[in-house]
Amino acid sequence: MKTVEQKPKYGLNEEQEKKLILREYRSLLRALKDKIKPGDKDILRRAFEMAADAHSSMRRKSGEPYILHPIAVAKICVEEIGLGVRSTVCALLHDTVEDTDITLQDIEREFGSEIARIVDGLTKISNVIDSSASQQAENFKKILLTLTDDPRVILIKLADRLNNMRTLDSMKREKQLKIASETVYVFAPLAHRMGLYSIKTELEDLAMKYLEPDTYKEIAKKLAETKRDRTRYINEFIKPIKEKLERNRFDFEIYGRPKNIHSIWNKMKKKGVTFEEVYDLFAIRIILNSPQEREKEDCWKVYSLITDEYTPSIERLRDWVSNPKSNGYEALHTTVMGPRGKWVEVQIRTKRMNEIAEKGLAAHWKYKEGSPDSYRDENRFDKWFQQIREVLYNQDADSVDFLQDFKMSFLTEEIYIYTPKGDIKMLPVGSTALDFAFAIHTAVGAKTIGAKVNHKLVPISYKLRSGDQVEIITSNKQTPSEDWLSFVVTAKAKAKVKEALKEEKKKVADEGRYTIQRKLEGMGVSLQQANLDELVQFYKLHSNLELFYQVAIKNIDLKELKEFKVIGDRIEYPRPVKIVQENKIESHTPAHNKQDTELIIFGESSDKIMYHLANCCKPIPGDDVFGFITTGKGLAIHRTNCPNAPKLLANYGHRIVKTKWAKNKEISFLTGVRIIGMDDVGVVSKITSLISAELKINIAALTIEASEGLFEGNIKVYVHDKEELDELVNRLKDLDGIEAVERYDTEDLPAKS
């Protein structure tokens, strides 16, 4: 996190600050005490003194001495990730090269090449992720190459990000949005992939606290209100299981823990239910103290005892004991019908599995010595790193696409697919038969014409499920086609298909290049890059190759060339005409014929700036919003909880504009609400009467569909601001027979004509 120099805000004098710093450092040493060997105290003291001295004049935004941040990061590394002395030294020094006069050579001279290499990796990541010019996506490959070189770099970076998120309150609102978006977009999935589940859930919750503060507070409040009932229910559920486990002489711990706020919110959105309807607000965890050779047997015995007591849901059984996830996670998960007809998730693990679930990759190193499974575990990570390396070295796609592909391929849940010989391939959820073919070999993927899944013939776009056995059918006549990109999900498959298409395109594009050259020479100008740039921009394409290709396949006939001006050896398209057309499209308002620029103040300058409201989230006054500078379409206004917000804020920080609404009651905005309720006589008239007669809100469109005693209504209305919309939603919820009312999130609402 960037620093500023300022006086203490929290009233400690210099002497008290020194005592505080020393107290925190000693607390770090206590956390490390089991790992400290002879000579370690000396290296830790030298690292602490070097960092304290280098950061002595620096303070964090909160006003506290900067050195408290590296100490806090080091403590997270030790206590929450389980790293050792050398990682602690790196954590203490992680900001010195970037923020102070200390060089990498100083660190190498003092602590050796291994620590210097890790600090170098952390410095590179810091420059990539936190740069205000936001070149994150472009440099993300460097981070991942560092990760595959020494995973401790990413583990320390995750600790750094967790401490920054825990202390984000003192940052400005726009900085909070950017950091929280990056966190939920990249760091939480990365923590999940490294097996750090508790860090992943805390990062998600903290990000949500800043990105969706109202929803976060509401769910936290409801969790607190229902805590007593939940505890009573958990005790009732656990009692018979506890007795059975004790009778069978298991050494165990059993407890219930609430799901994190972010995952509860995801369930509410995904299933379209209220907080009260989310059935698994908590999970029961059973942790066994079993010797490693008996772990699997004991887990299944416990599963048997639980399902003797409660009826299990067969489709909700997850066996990660026989087949651990590629990040090493092992457990049995089952969902059973508990007392009073409530579904309850139960997780069964051993102590070793639990430590790996909490501390991920770091815990693997602890259990590596002498473990029969260690080779398998190490091998899983090695395979994952190898796949990343392969994609990184073959990747030349647009960098933001690359980041999206990377998330899809490496940061999501995986499924297990069997080859005809019984070998296992791990692929991300949503993978197709074609992804599987490319996972076997590029040459196999490129020639795939079909597949047999569990001995049945399926198309190459068939979505695979965990446990499928797949045989790929190939033909030497087959070549990759453009439509393949619409259904492959793995980064490797996408990269290889794009590569093959590019080669094919180049051959076809040669003809287009020749056509353009002839036309330009006919106008008296040459085929130079400046002229090609002008044409690429005019036709809204992204490369010369695309231009040549579109001309070759006759999608572009170049008849507009006669409108271009010739200036010396250059052509120029008539910009004024284009700008007027753009403005006509972009400057409409949803309601009155007024400029909606009156509604918003941008940063420091509140002059009239042309903008449009993003269709993906349709913001209205009162929503928390930000401006995003688009290419060619001016400024787009998005809600901060827009589905696209994390990607935009995380990848294009330099194109974000601080935005807020000004008070204006004259202009109304189109938005939508969805209503679900009991299909009863007069329900439509009750709804329309409330909206039009009582609240005087203008209805743009209304559709109601009834089926089997229930109705679903979609209503498009014009409101002045969020306050008016909230009142509408609350009043609709109060009507008899209405079950749920929610605002449209992503519906593309047409503007009023």
**Residues carrying an active site annotation:** 98-99
3-state secondary structure of 456: strand
Kindly compute the dihedral angle of the four CA atoms of residues 336, 342, 348, 354, in this order, to the nearest 10 degrees: 150
How far is it, in rounded angstroms, from Cα 40 to Cα 24? 18
Specify burial of residue 172 (Cβ count, 10 A radius: 0-12, 13-18, 19+).
exposed
Q: Secondary structure of 353-413 in the HEC alphabet?
A: HHHHHHHHHHHHHHHHCCCCCHHHHHHHHHHHHHHHHHHHHCCCCCHHHHHHHHHHHHCCC
Report the relative pairing of strands 611-613 and 635-639 from DSSP bridges: parallel
The β-bridge partners of 605 are 602
Contact status, residue 104 vs residue 116, Cβ threshold 8 Å:
yes
3-state secondary structure of 446: helix
**What one-character-per-residue DSSP string does 691-738 give?**
IIIIS-PEEEEEEEEEETTEEEEEEEEEESSHHHHHHHHHHHHTSTTE
How far is it, in rounded angstroms, from Cα 288 to Cα 268? 32
Give the relative orientation of helices 374-393 and 399-410 as an angle to the nearest 10 degrees: 160
Contact status, residue 117 vs residue 83, Cβ threshold 8 Å:
no
125 is written with which tokens? 């990541």
612 is written with which tokens? 């449009």
Give the relative orientation of helices 491-522 and 374-393 as an angle to the nearest 10 degrees: 0
3-state secondary structure of 463: strand
Rounded to a whole number, what is the largest CA-CA distance in the chain? 95
H or E element: which one contains 262?
helix 261-271
Amino acid in the structure at residue 244: K
Contact status, residue 81 vs residue 158, Cβ threshold 8 Å:
yes
Specify burial of residue 531 (Cβ count, 10 A radius: 0-12, 13-18, 19+).
buried
How far is it, in rounded angstroms, from Cα 168 to Cα 177? 10
Of 136, 156, 134, 154, nearest to 145 (Cα)?
154
Amino acid in the structure at residue 240: P
Q: Residue 662 carries which DSSP code?
A: P
Residue 545: other Cβ atoms inside 10 A: 17
